[in-house]
Amino acid sequence: MSQEFRGSYTVTITPFTEDRSAIDYAAWQRFLDWQLQVGVPGIIILGTTGEFLTISDAERRAFVDATVKHVAGRIPVMVGSMNAYTPNAVRYSKEAQDLGADGLMIAPPYYYTPTEDEIFNYYRAINEAVAIPIMLYNNPVTTNVDMSSKLVTRMTNNLENIRYIKEASQDVGRIHDIVDETQGLMNVFAGERIVESFLLGAVGYVNPYGNYIPLASTKIWDYLVEGRIEDAKKIQRLISKFDHIIAAGHPTYGHQCYSKALAGAVGYPVGDVRDPITTFRALGEEGHQRLSEIMAVIRELDALMIELGGKRAAA
């Protein structure tokens, strides 16, 4: 397992055609070229932002294949391969590896609220089926499972491919616990609170904002590594405003809906979300008002990015 992941990885949308019946590959190639041009260090497809639960098996295989081929080794491509049924998660993971994925991001079995032994056995089955790095995805809000630092340490010590975790438990102190208890063997990617996570030992960031401000959300991590902590804080203060605007609406609108609308607003249309998530179109005036508010913040961010480095937030 020679691949090393570092920096701010865009966890991407999945682009759909106008009627949402199919993946829009022309839009996807434009989107990927944008990410590459800006200098995003890696992408993660078919995560929560990528609406993985709405993707058929045939779509999954074709999408992974097309992504790997288009990126062509220029940056790492990680694939979300979680499923509530262990054999499906194993199958998705092995398929992604066979198609050329560089790594996997895998949440624990959702809905069932499994025990720690059940979670361990799930990941062990996947670990035994692949030879590429696995990033655990700890997101209790969506999975109803909170993987403790003790469990993460157990998996790190016993499963050789598990060396990364997206820590999104909303307990930023967990990052320190994981790094400490695994003696630095586990590489933590922030799921939120970017600056604080870095200062506690995170090595990267799983980043939904890269879908519409890829330069700014990439540079924030670069600045942290360079020691430009105050500059990173300035970016984070503006990014945090996006969350407040979005969260003021119905929670199921979420980042999927607005990430797609905002990608379109900055020049990269990628369609709308699939059911059951509320579409941006269905939001009507409310959606356009929130979009307008977020675009105003993006203009603030543009001015800041030009001041800091000479390029706009979306580049």
Share of the chain above pLDDT 70, in %: 98
Mean pLDDT across the stretch 40-46?
98
The answer to whether 166 is a known catalytic residue is yes
Residues whose CB is less than 8 angstroms from the CB of residue 183 and which lie 6 or more positions away in sequence, other chains included: none
CA separation for the pair 212, 258 (Å, rounded): 10
Catalytic residue list contains 258:
no
Annotated catalytic residue: which of 9, 137, 164, 212? 137
Which candidate in 122, 166, 219, 258 is catalytic?
A: 166
State the pLDDT at residue 46: 98
Residue 2: per-residue pLDDT: 61
Q: Which two tokens stand for residue 313?
A: 């937030």
Position 263 pLDDT exceeds 70: yes
- Give the list of residues 6+ apart from residue 56 with CB closer than 8 angstroms, or none: none
pLDDT, mean over the chain: 95
**Residues 6 or more apart from 193 whose CB is under 8 A from it?**
172
pLDDT tens figures, 183-193:
999 999 999 89
In terms of DSSP bridges, do strands 204-207 and 187-190 run parallel, antiparallel, or are they unpaired? parallel
Whether pLDDT at 252 is above 70: no
Task: Determine whether 196 is exposed, middle or buried from the number of CB atoms within 10 Å of its CB (0-12, 13-18, 19+).
Answer: middle
pLDDT at residue 313 is higher than 90: no
Using CA atoms, how far apart are residues 67 and 188, in angstroms rounded to an integer? 25
Options 3.20.20.70, 3.90.25.10, 3.40.50.720, 3.40.50.2030; which CATH number does 7-308 get?
3.20.20.70
Cα separation of 167 and 192, whole Å? 8
Tens of pLDDT along 152-169? Answer: 999 999 999 999 999 998
**145 has a pLDDT exceeding 90:** yes
pLDDT per residue over 68-85, tens digit each? 999 999 999 999 999 999
Q: What is the pLDDT of residue 314?
A: 86
Provide the pLDDT for residue 220.
Answer: 97
Between 170 and 128, the more confident residue is 128
Cα distance between the two ends of the chain: 33
* DSSP per position, 229-276: HHHHHHHHHHHHHHHHHHHTS-TTTHHHHHHHHHHHHTT-----PPTT
> Mean per-residue pLDDT for 298-307?
96
Distance CA 314, CA 266 (A): 7
Mean pLDDT of 26-39: 98
Quote the pLDDT of residue 248.
84
Segment 87-108 mean pLDDT: 98
Q: Cβ(71)–Cβ(35) under 8 Å?
A: no
> What is d(CA 203, CA 197) in angstroms, rounded to the nearest whole number?
9
What distance in Å separates the CA atoms of residue 63 and residue 35, rounded to the nearest whole number? 17
Instruction: State how far Cα 37 lies from the chain centre.
Output: 19
pTM of the model: 0.97
- Mean pLDDT, range 104-120, rounded to an integer: 96
Q: SS3 string of 2-38? A: CCCCCEEEEECCCCECCCCCCECHHHHHHHHHHHHHH
* Structural tokens at position 284: 């009507």
Q: For residue 104, which of 141, 171, 159, 172 has the smallest C-alpha distance?
A: 159
Q: How confident is the model at residue 99 (pLDDT cuts 50, 70, 90)?
A: very high
Cα 167 to Cα 181: distance, rounded to the nearest angstrom: 15
